[in-house]
């Protein structure tokens, strides 16, 4: 699927971009739709393989970040004072979601690190390495400078496979952690309320 389709771009988008987007003209593009359709034509020092590895590294990092956000959201959501007023509840939940969405990876990791590493899940120890490799990929001058646990994912396919396997392992641990810390207490509390009432 073309990126233009992915973002739902239409020809009328060019009117939204307006004359202020003069840099489009400098690279000979006429509309927002066209730049997404022809983005691969832009000059780039990286080859297709390097782009693919970069994409995989960023995607693996994002998968970890999503789990952070899920834990934080559900940890704090049950502390919201929710009522029968649906508009009020939606507003409070949206404000919480926006706050968590504004947090960066390391901000969330600093909060969750002592909690996650206290559990007997060895896979969580790889989180810092995943983040370091992602940052090297984004900022290193050359891909040869990027490492994951002492190896280069751009030149060593087994290293890239290890990153994938480590993140897969972390996701299994996140699922178990979520069940133990978020879901199970919620179910126990609900059963308690059903049996004894809210004022017990």
One DSSP character per residue, 116-151 reads: HTTSS-GGGGGHHHHHHHHHHHHH-SSGGG--BTTB
Whether the Cβ atoms of residue 185 and residue 127 lie closer than 8 Å to each other = no
pLDDT by residue (tens digit) across 57-104?
999 999 999 999 999 999 999 899 988 999 999 999 999 999 999 999
Q: Let me know whether 186 and 136 are in one domain.
A: yes
Question: Tokens representing 9?
Answer: 């771009």
pLDDT by residue (tens digit) across 168-188?
999 999 999 999 998 887 777
Task: Report, as an integer, the average pLDDT of 130-156.
Answer: 94
Q: Let me know whether 11 and 95 are in one domain.
A: no
Judged against a pLDDT cut of 90, whether residue 151 lies above it is answered with yes
Tell me the sheet residues that pair with 151: 148
Check residue 113 and give its pLDDT: 96
Considering only residues 154 and 193, tell me which one the structure prediction assigns the higher pLDDT. 154
Number of domains comprising the chain: 2
Query: Residue 24: which pLDDT band, with cuts at 50, 70 and 90?
Result: low
Q: Let me know whether 30 and 68 are in one domain.
A: no
Q: Let me know whether 32 and 53 are in one domain.
A: no
Considering only residues 16 and 127, tell me which one the structure prediction assigns the higher pLDDT. 127
Q: Let me know whether 69 and 36 are in one domain.
A: no
Check residue 190 and give its pLDDT: 74
- Output the average pLDDT for the chain: 82
Whether the Cβ atoms of residue 3 and residue 22 lie closer than 8 Å to each other = no
CB-based burial label for 36 (10 Å; 0-12, 13-18, 19+): middle
Q: Let me know whether 37 and 131 are in one domain.
A: no
Q: Let me know whether 18 and 64 are in one domain.
A: no
Judged against a pLDDT cut of 60, whether residue 12 lies above it is answered with no
Q: Let me know whether 125 and 82 are in one domain.
A: yes
Q: Let me know whether 155 and 86 are in one domain.
A: yes
The vertex-82 CA angle with 78 and 84, nearest 5°, equals 140
User: Domain span at residue 13?
Assistant: 1-43
Q: Let me know whether 159 and 105 are in one domain.
A: yes
Q: Let me know whether 90 and 145 are in one domain.
A: yes
Among 27, 43, 59, give the residue marking a domain's end: 43
Q: Let me know whether 130 and 166 are in one domain.
A: yes
Cα separations (Å) of 66 from 23, 104, 112, 136, 159? 33, 11, 13, 20, 23
Query: Residue 29: which pLDDT band, with cuts at 50, 70 and 90?
Result: low
């Amino acid at each position: 699927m073309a990126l233009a389709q992915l973002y739902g771009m239409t020809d009328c988008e060019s009117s939204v971009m307006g004359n202020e987007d003069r840099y489009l003209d400098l690279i000979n593009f006429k509309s927002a739709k066209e730049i997404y359709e022809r983005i691969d034509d832009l000059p780039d020092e990286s080859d297709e393989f390097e782009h693919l590895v970069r994409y995989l590294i960023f995607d693996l990092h994002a998968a970890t970040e999503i789990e952070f956000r899920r834990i934080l959201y559900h940890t704090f959501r049950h502390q919201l004072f929710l009522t029968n007023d649906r508009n009020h509840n939606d507003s409070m939940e949206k404000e919480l979601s926006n706050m968590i969405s504004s947090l960066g990876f390391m901000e969330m990791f600093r909060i969750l690190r002592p909690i996650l590493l206290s559990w007997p899940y060895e896979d969580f120890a790889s989180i810092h390495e995943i983040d370091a490799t992602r940052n090297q990929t984004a900022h290193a001058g050359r891909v040869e400078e990027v490492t994951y646990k002492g190896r280069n994912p751009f030149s060593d396919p087994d290293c890239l496979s290890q990153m994938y396997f480590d993140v897969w392992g972390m996701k299994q641990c996140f699922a178990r952690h979520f069940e133990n810390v978020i879901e199970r207490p919620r179910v126990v509390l609900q059963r308690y309320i059903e049996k004894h009432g809210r004022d017990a």
